[in-house]
Amino acid sequence: MDKGKLEELLAGMVRSGATALHLLPGHKPCMRLQGSLVVAGESMVSAEQIHDLTKDFLFQDLRARIAAGQEVDLLFTARSGERFRTRVGRTEAGFFLHFRRVPREIPTFADLGVPEILATFVNGRAGLVLLTGFLGSGRSTTLAAMVDRLSADRAAHVVSLEQPLEFVFQHRAAIVHQREVGLHVPDFATGVREAMQQSADVVVVADVADAATFDAMLDAAESGLLVLGTLHASSVVAALRRLDAAQPAARRESFRQRLAASLRALLSQTLLPRSHGAGRVPLLEILLQTHSVAETLRAGEYDALPAIMAKGRGLGMQTTDIALRNLLNKNLISMGEALYHASDRESLTARPRVGPGSVLNGR
């Protein structure tokens, strides 16, 4: 495989609407299409071919990080002008490449299909708003849409810390100061603390990767800044457990007190295949700050939160099962897909559905 073949694969990825391209040594190229992995080429890719491809965009410092066992993220721009977030790392057989397309324009909430309540999170004056999800869950794009809405609605100084820079935010009501970790600032934690010194009103952390970063985010929230961030976790409860477990035992109680005081919202996002037509739809768990939530966080009783979220539906909270019912009622996903992700399958199947042709609609 040469660079010309890579350009063909990336162009095919854009045409088909695929969300990812995987190049692994000893395997045929594969794309992620509608949530499924499909073969995208007839020939296997060799380790030598992938190594040759990386020569054009892996600088010496990045190669050193990979040699030390790390994976690196960078932005690759194709001849077409399309941009791809690219992850490079090593396996026993050699380098691997993973490409994810970055949309040319920052999508709106309506484009993404996420609820308008997200606008209230970015209009808050202080506190912590977290968005979780695994790689490919769309959390980075949703975060970008939130920052773009904030930029349109608020006259604020926003410092966005990213690795790599993906979307380019326009200065509108807000001034958005984008910094790339590893290029403009050594790490996320340092970037947060420097943003506090730069009189930022809002700090955006693209990846909460360690306890030091989250500690800096809590400091910023406690000092009166609005702090937005994403981290890898499968659910609201899993995210809280991960953050809690990263704390030294002696500081865990203090951490819980600080989290309870600072957290304004915690969301977990997954993308599900659309039942009719191309594309995927977001499945969102939403936890909002209330007195009951704060008390539960202080006690570290994270498993009790789903029940509180279910009771707080009128406030805008929702569990995975509530979100699944909403998507079913809109005929956006199939029952099979809903059952696969549901916590309480019996409740999901027993609950009457509202939609075209339903009894509740009188048809």
Task: Tell me the pLDDT band of 289, cut-offs 50, 70 and 90.
Answer: very high
The domain boundary, picked from 71, 102, 133, lies at 102
Find all residues with CB under 8 Å of 193, minimum gap 6, and list them: 216, 219, 220
Does the pLDDT of residue 209 top 90, yes or no?
A: no
351 found inside a domain: no
Say whether both 57 and 139 belong to one domain: no
Does the pLDDT of residue 298 top 90, yes or no?
A: yes
HEC secondary structure over 247-271: CCHHHHHHHHHHHHHHEEEEEEEEE
pLDDT at 357: 40
Task: Tell me the pLDDT band of 360, cut-offs 50, 70 and 90.
Answer: very low
Say whether both 124 and 66 belong to one domain: no
353 found inside a domain: no
Mean pLDDT for all residues in the chain: 90
Cis peptide before 103 (omega within 30 of 0): no
Task: Tell me the pLDDT band of 166, cut-offs 50, 70 and 90.
Answer: confident
Q: Are strands 20-23 and 30-33 parallel, antiparallel or unpaired?
A: antiparallel
pLDDT at 93: 86
- Write the pLDDT tens digit of every residue in 301-327: 999 999 999 999 999 999 999 999 999
pLDDT at 28: 93
Domain count, the chain: 2
Write the CATH number for 98.
3.30.450.90
Say whether both 301 and 195 belong to one domain: yes
Round to whole Å and give the CA distance between 5 and 28: 13
pLDDT at 352: 54
Which of 66-70, 206-210, 291-295: highest mean pLDDT?
291-295
208 found inside a domain: yes
Contact 106, 169 (CB under 8 A): yes
Contact 330, 336 (CB under 8 A): no
Say whether both 157 and 303 belong to one domain: yes
Residue 162's φ and ψ, nearest 5 degrees, are -140, 160
Task: Provide the domain limits for residue 72.
Answer: 3-102
Task: Tell me the pLDDT band of 358, cut-offs 50, 70 and 90.
Answer: very low
Say whether both 192 and 312 belong to one domain: yes
Task: Tell me the pLDDT band of 292, cut-offs 50, 70 and 90.
Answer: very high
338 found inside a domain: no
Write the CATH number for 194.
3.40.50.300
352 found inside a domain: no
pLDDT at 347: 80
The domain boundary, picked from 303, 318, 333, lies at 318
Say whether both 60 and 92 belong to one domain: yes
358 found inside a domain: no
Say whether both 58 and 206 belong to one domain: no
| Proportion of the chain above pLDDT 90, given as a percent | 69
pTM greater than the 0.85 cutoff: no
- Write the pLDDT tens digit of every residue in 38-64: 998 778 999 999 988 888 788 878 888
